[in-house]
């Protein structure tokens, strides 16, 4: 039997919770949805700037956030213990916490980067960096939606990731660092990632819950939250706009408040399910991705998608409206840098002022 085969009873239960989840958050909880929740951002949000860790820390402090999420290993000048020790001190001096991450750890995925050696070596290095910087998490991911179409499908890739995680289990446990696997770029739906986490061992593996990536697997972010929430140890948060097209729907990630997610309800429920999970903004916006689900050839990689979940995604699409893509004017690099900063800073203010997120006073 496939160890990753979904349990119908458990999944139906999760879908039922998704429908009822909002009722679990009282009006009082919604009113205090952001209170006490730490706020930060993923450096990928402003990737066009090419800043290294020290400059990103200074920028984070200027934005009055609590944390900064270094989600790749290239953000550091090097990985020596002395350099990392200095970075940790700088973060402390600025009043910031640091979360650490890396890329894909599935060697058969096209998203795997051999630069750092094997998947096991890459994850081991990330855990070491996380420990040195005082990060309780080491974020990583499987791959992308293309891995659903590869030979063996997503379950073959999931087994590879479990093997890699188990190979570094003792290192993660000894370091006090939890491997935080992200639902990434359309690779796994929430329940599939739960299967992976449980197979690897939830005592040392959790998730980086990504609200935007949920929409790339035909999930309503609220459904994704109900399924993944209790495993969340860090996050990648952004809004999404979804709208119907002649062939299905299109998804465009957006700055916070520009999409369809009811963030007061989302944050209240996240706090109930994962009280210690911070909100790390990973703002990626300006382009749309089509999902031609009205074509029969679209469906083989998504054969196990449940009708109840898909119906919620379609319901979002029916509420949405088409958005224009970002069109840079003048120097493209400068335009992208300005656009990414504007999108992130507007999202930070939305979270601080509208949602009440953040411990540090803005």
% of the chain residues with pLDDT over 70: 90
% of the chain residues with pLDDT over 90: 89
Residue 19: pLDDT over 60: no
- In angstroms, the Cα distances linking 211 to 79, 222, 261, 310, 347 are 30, 8, 9, 16, 14
Q: What is the mean predicted confidence (pLDDT) over 96-114? A: 97
| Contact by Cβ (8 Å): 257, 354 | yes
Q: Which residues are CB-neighbours of 236 under 8 A, at least 6 positions away?
A: 42, 69, 71, 182, 208, 209, 210, 211, 212, 213, 280, 282
From CA 25, how far away is CA 34, in angstroms rounded? 13
Ramachandran category for residue 290: left, alpha or beta (phi over 0 → left; psi -120 to 50 → alpha): beta
In the numeric block, the tokens 């051999």 are attached to 114
Looking at CATH, the fold of the domain delimited by 11-354 is given as TIM Barrel (3.20.20)
From CA 71, how far away is CA 68, in angstroms rounded? 9
> What pLDDT, on the 0 to 100 scale, is given for residue 263?
98
- Cα dihedral 144, 287, 73, 51, rounded to 10, equals 180
CA atoms within 13 A on the CB side of 182: 29
Asked whether the CA dihedral 179, 185, 190, 196 is positive or negative, the reply is negative
> What pLDDT, on the 0 to 100 scale, is given for residue 35?
78
Q: What is the mean predicted confidence (pLDDT) over 142-154? A: 96
- How does residue 21 score in pLDDT terms, banded at 50, 70 and 90? very low
Tokens of 264: 């007061």
Q: What is the mean predicted confidence (pLDDT) over 136-151? A: 97
- In angstroms, the Cα distances linking 21 to 115, 226, 227, 260, 319 are 42, 7, 10, 17, 20
- How does residue 34 score in pLDDT terms, banded at 50, 70 and 90? low
| Contact by Cβ (8 Å): 149, 298 | no
Q: What is the mean predicted confidence (pLDDT) over 319-325? A: 97
> What pLDDT, on the 0 to 100 scale, is given for residue 208?
98
> What pLDDT, on the 0 to 100 scale, is given for residue 18?
40
Angle, CA 237 vertex, CA 243 and CA 332 arms, to 5°: 75
3-state DSSP assignment of residue 268? helix
Tokens of 307: 């009708």
> What pLDDT, on the 0 to 100 scale, is given for residue 29?
54
Radius of gyration of the chain (CA): 19
The number of angstroms, rounded, from the C-alpha of 302 to the middle of its chain's C-alpha atoms is: 20
């Amino acid at each position: 039997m496939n160890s990753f085969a979904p349990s119908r009873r458990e999944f139906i239960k999760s879908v039922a919770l998704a429908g009822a989840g909002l009722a679990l958050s009282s009006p009082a909880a919604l009113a205090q949805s952001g209170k006490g929740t730490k706020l930060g951002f993923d450096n990928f949000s402003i990737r066009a700037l090419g800043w290294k860790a020290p400059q990103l820390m200074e920028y984070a402090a200027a934005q009055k956030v609590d944390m900064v999420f270094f989600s790749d290993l290239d953000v550091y000048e090097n990985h020596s213990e002395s350099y990392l020790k200095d970075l940790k001190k700088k973060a402390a001096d600025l009043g910031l916490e640091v979360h650490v991450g890396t890329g894909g750890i599935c060697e058969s995925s096209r998203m795997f980067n051999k630069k750092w050696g094997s998947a096991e070596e890459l994850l081991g290095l990330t855990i070491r960096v996380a420990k040195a910087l005082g990060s309780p998490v080491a974020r990583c991911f499987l791959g992308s939606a293309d891995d659903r179409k590869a030979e063996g499908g997503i379950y073959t890739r999931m087994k590879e990731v479990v093997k890699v995680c188990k190979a570094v289990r003792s290192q993660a446990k000894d370091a006090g660092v939890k491997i935080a696997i992200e639902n990434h770029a359309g690779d796994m739906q929430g329940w599939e990632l739960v299967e992976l986490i449980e197979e690897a061992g939830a005592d040392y593996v959790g998730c980086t819950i990504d609200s935007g990536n949920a929409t790339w697997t035909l999930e309503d972010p609220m459904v994704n939250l109900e399924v993944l929430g209790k495993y969340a140890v860090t996050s990648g948060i952004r809004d999404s706009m979804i709208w119907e097209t002649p062939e299905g729907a299109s998804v465009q990630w957006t700055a916070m408040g520009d999409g369809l997610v009811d963030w007061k309800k989302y944050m209240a429920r996240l706090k109930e399910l994962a009280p210690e999970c911070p909100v790390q903004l990973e703002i990626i916006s300006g382009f749309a991705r089509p999902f031609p689900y009205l074509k029969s050839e679209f469906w083989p990689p998504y054969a196990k998608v449940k009708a109840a979940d898909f119906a919620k995604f379609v319901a979002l699409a029916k509420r949405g409206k088409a958005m224009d893509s970002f069109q840079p004017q003048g120097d493209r690099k400068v335009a992208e840098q300005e656009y990414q900063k504007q999108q992130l800073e507007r999202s930070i203010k939305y979270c601080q002022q509208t949602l009440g997120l953040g411990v540090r006073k803005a």
